[in-house]
Amino acid sequence: MARHSRKGVNRRFTVPGSRLPGHDRKVQKPTMTEERSERDAARLAKLDELRSAGIEPYPARLQQPRTHTATEAIAAFVASESDGDDALPVSVCVAGRMMSRRLMGKVGFAHIDDGSAHLQVFVRRDTVGEETFELFKRLLDLGDFIAVCGEMMRTRTGEISVNAQSMQLLSKSLEPMPDKWHGVKDVETRYRRRYVDLMINPEVREVFVARARMVQAIREYLDGAGFIEVETPVLQPIYGGAAARPFTTYHNQLKQDLFLRISFELYLKRLLVGGLEKVYEIGRDFRNEGISFKHNPEFTQLEWYEAYADYHDVMRRVEDMLAHIARRLTGGTLITYRGHEIDLAPPWRRVTLRDAIIEYADLDYAQYPTAAELADAMRAKGHHPETTSNRGRLIDSLLSNYVEPNLIQPTFVLDYPIEISPLAKKTPDDPTSVERFEYFIAGMEMGNAFSELNDPLDQRERMEWMQQLYGAEDEERHPMDEDYLLAMSYGMPPNGGFGTGIDRLAMLFTDSATIRDVLLFPHLRSLERSDAAGDEEPQP
């Protein structure tokens, strides 16, 4: 937009609102642009009026530097009040977005929001002068950023306020603010224009502050336990470490197909080979799968690997870490999620997958050694298995359909079928099962861990077996990763590994019903697509 000079091209086209979603659908009709500009005419006229009065609506800096956030200004005034008669006046310069304004003749009130608090500003014509009062009264709009300097005071009704001595416009808003009382409720608008959601709905900001504090608590815990944080490639020539379909991309100069990672696992375990004993990574994974209240195409994952630990050690660390997060966020280990009171205090319940399925689905899969037998037994119990599934997937479906919804309190489910766990060590007493657990809270799968397989020959067999088991046409079939096998052949210490969805933890700790509420910009279908569809053929 910089190419449009101030007094050059029709300024209408620089109005951000002309590209807002609700108008993109209609933007091809010029009449709508005209109507749009009519609605904006008042604010655009104010821009002209401000400039001709010598007031730059988008100044580069404050005339007087900010001395206090809203919270600090209030605190400073409260402190001075406690001095009683000896109290000295508290002079402040504050800045923020004007959220409300009440005009009454030659005096007026406004609230500014700077992210720390709302602070009332009292503006009296006799104090600020004719010119500034006119600016405040007539040329400012809700949504404008302003700076205000003055002494702190209490109004007649007792509200701590800034008694404005001077006022500066910092940034003009050309879009109307949403309803000050109701905010924005439409979820599509809230997700597509998160900035509007954040500016008007204070509880949204709280969710993301809590999420940030949660991640901070995780790093604090792991750093304190001697882990180092590392970063591994997002763009990978061979994807792996999970059962999921990847996004593909292409490097032009290398003429090479690349995949966006679906997990960090294979790279982090290479680091154990290299001698880093405790590593973790917090980063983005990408999975080309369905979208739901607990699935976004890109999501934040925590994975760690710890040499000389097995999956029992990992369980102890997981329950310890989550209790640590809860204490940091709430002071205790009790949290409420969607009406359930959940206690994260260790130790959590531990139950084998087999026992859990016996308990909740009334079926002992150990009695049915083949997929066909198990599927028959499931049908006899009134379940409806996919006919094409292998035995591991059948067991997994029993878990997610019958067990998972019942696991409200934190629970480790352990010892998984080998067919769906190619990177985990076999259990010593049962070669069809592996030392793996998933943990569940509030009926949601939260994470996954193994005693990591470190036998290179076993790993090669397992990968080759997976190739056969899933068939060439299966989209979750993974390519062989020869370099990973090579790394393991150098010798990998026995270790316990763990992965968990940061977004799901954030849902849990912020009592959010959907992953979209803990993602600042959840993935939504583009609106532009519908406009382009009629004009041109989609690209192949």
Partner RNA sequence: GGGCCGCUAGCUCAAUGGUAGAGCAAGGGACUUUUAAUCCCUAGGUUACAGGUUCGAGCCCUGUGCGGCUCACCA
* Distance of alpha carbon 48 from alpha carbon 7, whole angstroms: 10
288 vs 330, beta carbon nearer RNA: 288
Spatial contact of 144 and 98, defined as CB atoms under 8 Å apart:
yes
Report the Cα–Cα distance between both ends of the chain, in Å, rounded.
31
For residue 122, the surrounding DSSP H or E stretch is strand 118-124
In the complex, the smallest distance separating the C-beta of residue 193 from RNA, rounded to whole angstroms, is: 9
Torsion, CA 223, CA 208, CA 160, CA 102, rounded to 10: 160
Residue 120 as a binder of RNA (CB under 7 A): the answer is yes
Q: Phi first, then psi: what are they for 427, rounded to 5°?
A: -75, 145
| 233-262: contacts with RNA (CB under 7 A) | 242-244
* Distance of alpha carbon 267 from alpha carbon 307, whole angstroms: 15
Q: Is the peptide bond before 89 cis (omega within 30 degrees of 0)?
A: no
Residue 188 as a binder of RNA (CB under 7 A): the answer is yes
In the complex, the smallest distance separating the C-beta of residue 134 from RNA, rounded to whole angstroms, is: 11
* Distance of alpha carbon 306 from alpha carbon 276, whole angstroms: 9
| Tokens encoding 402 | 């019958």
Residue 187 as a binder of RNA (CB under 7 A): the answer is yes
161 vs 451, beta carbon nearer RNA: 161
78 vs 486, beta carbon nearer RNA: 78
In the complex, the smallest distance separating the C-beta of residue 531 from RNA, rounded to whole angstroms, is: 8
| 460-499: contacts with RNA (CB under 7 A) | 476
Binding mask 367-386 for RNA (x = CB under 7 A): -------------------x
* Distance of alpha carbon 88 from alpha carbon 93, whole angstroms: 16
Going from the C-alpha of 232 to that of each of 1, 229, 283, 450, the distances in angstroms are 37, 10, 9, 20
Residue 198 as a binder of RNA (CB under 7 A): the answer is no
| 36-55: contacts with RNA (CB under 7 A) | 39, 42-43, 46
Q: Which of 54, 158, 275, 428 binds RNA (CB under 7 A)?
A: 158
Closest among 320, 343, 340, 309 to 435, alpha carbons compared: 309
Spatial contact of 245 and 286, defined as CB atoms under 8 Å apart:
no
Pairing of strands 235-236, 248-251: unpaired
Q: Which of 177, 374, 488, 506 binds RNA (CB under 7 A)?
A: 177
Going from the C-alpha of 251 to that of each of 87, 227, 239, 318, 483, the distances in angstroms are 67, 33, 15, 38, 21
Number of residues that bind RNA (CB under 7 A): 91
Residue 180 as a binder of RNA (CB under 7 A): the answer is yes
**Three-state DSSP state, 239:** coil
Identify which range of 82-90, 156-164, 311-319, 326-334 contacts RNA by CB under 7 A. 156-164
Binding mask 65-104 for RNA (x = CB under 7 A): -----------------------------------xxxxx
How many CB atoms neighbour CB 48 within 10 A? 13
Residue 33 as a binder of RNA (CB under 7 A): the answer is no
* Distance of alpha carbon 501 from alpha carbon 498, whole angstroms: 11
Residue 181 as a binder of RNA (CB under 7 A): the answer is yes
Binding mask 341-370 for RNA (x = CB under 7 A): ------------------------------
Q: Which of 4, 51, 138, 349 binds RNA (CB under 7 A)?
A: 138
Q: Which of 57, 178, 410, 496 binds RNA (CB under 7 A)?
A: 178
| 429-458: contacts with RNA (CB under 7 A) | 438, 445, 448
Spatial contact of 261 and 240, defined as CB atoms under 8 Å apart:
no
| Tokens encoding 457 | 């020959």
* Distance of alpha carbon 394 from alpha carbon 348, whole angstroms: 26
* Distance of alpha carbon 288 from alpha carbon 41, whole angstroms: 45
Closest among 287, 283, 161 to 232, alpha carbons compared: 283
55 vs 276, beta carbon nearer RNA: 55
In the complex, the smallest distance separating the C-beta of residue 22 from RNA, rounded to whole angstroms, is: 6
Identify which range of 79-87, 224-232, 374-382, 394-402 contacts RNA by CB under 7 A. 394-402
Residue 22 as a binder of RNA (CB under 7 A): the answer is yes
Residue 331 as a binder of RNA (CB under 7 A): the answer is no
Residue 107 as a binder of RNA (CB under 7 A): the answer is yes
Q: Which of 391, 393, 425, 478 binds RNA (CB under 7 A)?
A: 393
29 vs 381, beta carbon nearer RNA: 29
Closest among 342, 280, 348 to 319, alpha carbons compared: 348
41 vs 228, beta carbon nearer RNA: 41
Residue 3 as a binder of RNA (CB under 7 A): the answer is no
223 vs 528, beta carbon nearer RNA: 528
How many CB atoms neighbour CB 315 within 10 A? 21
57 vs 501, beta carbon nearer RNA: 501
144 vs 319, beta carbon nearer RNA: 144
